[in-house]
Structures are given as C-alpha cells and as structure tokens.
Structure 1
Amino acid sequence: MGITLKEASEQVGVTRQTLMKAIKNGRVSGQKSTNGEWRIEPVELFRVWPAVKGVQHPSHIQLTAGDIPIAPSVDEEVVTLLKAQIDLLRSQLDDVRTDREDVRADRNHWRQIAERALLTDQRTALERMPDTLTEATASVEAPLASPPEGGFWSRLFGRSLKDERHG
C-alpha cells in the first residue's frame, strides 16, 4: 500500500509539509487511504529523494530464501492463463492479418476495374455522334468564313466603304 507521510519524512529527512507540496505539485505520486491519510510508495519516494543514512533503501534490502513466499500452484495457474491468453491474441492477430490481405486484394481488384473503365470510352455511338459532326462542320466552315468589310460603325449602319467614297 505504501508508507505514511510521517514514515516517509523520517526515511528521507524532509518535513511532512515538503512531501505534501511534492504530492500536490505532481513531483511525487501519493494516494489517500480510506481513513484520509496520505501514503507514498517507497520506490516513488526514493526516486525523488535519497534515503537518509541509517535508513535502509528498499532496493538494498537483503532477502534470503526464507523471506520470499513461494506459491507454485498460484504461479503455475497464472502462467497457464497467460499462455492461453497469448495464444488467443495470436490467433486474433492472424485473423486480422488475413482480413487485411482480403481487403487489399479487393481494393486491387476494384482499382483494376476502375482503371479499365477510365481507359475506354463508355458512351454509345449516338452520344459520340455529335462530336464527329461538330468536327466535320468546323472543318468545312473554317475556309468559308471571311473577315467582314469596314469597321464597326459602317457595319452597324449598313454602309460599305465603297458607298462612302462615292457618295
């Protein structure tokens, strides 16, 4: 669970107020217990402040084989459950990879169809007919057109240059 602010202040040699300020500022993470008392994990505490001499740092505690509780049945059950979960996740990953390949194949198929459709003229013969007619009439009309005689005003009033000179 963690140690109280009083115990923490004794282990690192700072006041409880300093620890509270560090918790409020986010420098150290702490949790409020059900009775309203703040608790700090020793690892978190020693990450920020070094231990005062005479106080043993949790990472320097010497453990013997008798100090470590061994529960092989619980550990084996957990390992078995974790292996089963890993196998399930692997099979789900394989399914996702298969689905991804299917989607890619479909995408490529539809892309080829779209490219073929864009390369060919999809219009019917009647729809294509006006294009050929306009091309043919444009080529015939082009040589027949001649520039108009006279300027804007003479054309507006219907006079020609010949009429003005002789008139």
Structure 2
Amino acid sequence: MLTLGQAAKEVGKSKTAIANAIKEGRLSANRLENGQYQIDPAELFRVYQSINRQEESKGVQSETPINKASLQGETDLLRELVAQIKDERDDLRRRLDVSETARQRETEAREKDSAELRRLTLLLTHQPEPTAKKSGLYQKLFGRDKTKV
C-alpha cells in the first residue's frame, strides 16, 4: 500500500491531483484513523500510468522506424489524386457554364419568338396593337394629364 506522497511520486503527479482524484471517485483509497490515505498500487496504476511506463512508451515511440520512402510515395500518389479531382471539377464547371449559356440563349429565343407570335396573331386577327393612351382636350391645352395635378 502506498501513501499519498508515494503514489504521487510513482505517477509523476502532485499530492493534490491524487487527493482530488480520490475525492472525485476516480481513484479508490482507504483512509486511516490518522487521516492518511492508503492507496493500492494496482488501483493507482489503473487510473494513472507509472513514470517508468511513460518513459518506456516514449522510448518505443522514438525507436519505431519510419519508412520515409513509402510515405513520400503515398504523398505523391495523394497529390496526383488531388490534381485529378481538381481537373475533373474544372471540367464540370466548364460544362455547367456552357449549358447555362445555352439555356439562357434558348430562353431569350423563346421570349423573342413569343413576342413575334403575338404580333403576328394580332395582325392576322386584325386587332391593332395596343397604343398609348389617347390624349384628351385637357392634355392638348395644358400639355399634362389632369389626374397628376
């Protein structure tokens, strides 16, 4: 069994951090009559990693060989894929612009044909095209519409 101070040294934490873990219920410990804690090492290492294990894991990480050639090959492959995707995106944008331009031209042509068809229909049915409002006597005398006065 470990005291609070011994436990703190084993895991590289402060006494306060260990005491807080006990109070929060993350770490179980027995309290003696004199107020000191007794902490089971298995319980301590369940919650915290020992300093020796931390150093071992750091050493293992630094000793892991890195194959830079394969990483470079993967990086180059990913760059090629990104470039290919960008080319496809640009091609799709060009196609979209072309189709949008064609759609606008068709819409304008339909509107023009519709106006021409309306004009021809009016001519065939002998209906004069609507003209501006005829001016009345007041308009001729004073040069303005009396409703706007």
TM-score range, shorter chain: 0.3 to 0.5
Larger gyration radius, structure 1 or structure 2:
1
Q: Tell me the TM-score normalized by structure 2.
A: 0.42
Q: Tell me the TM-score normalized by structure 1.
A: 0.38
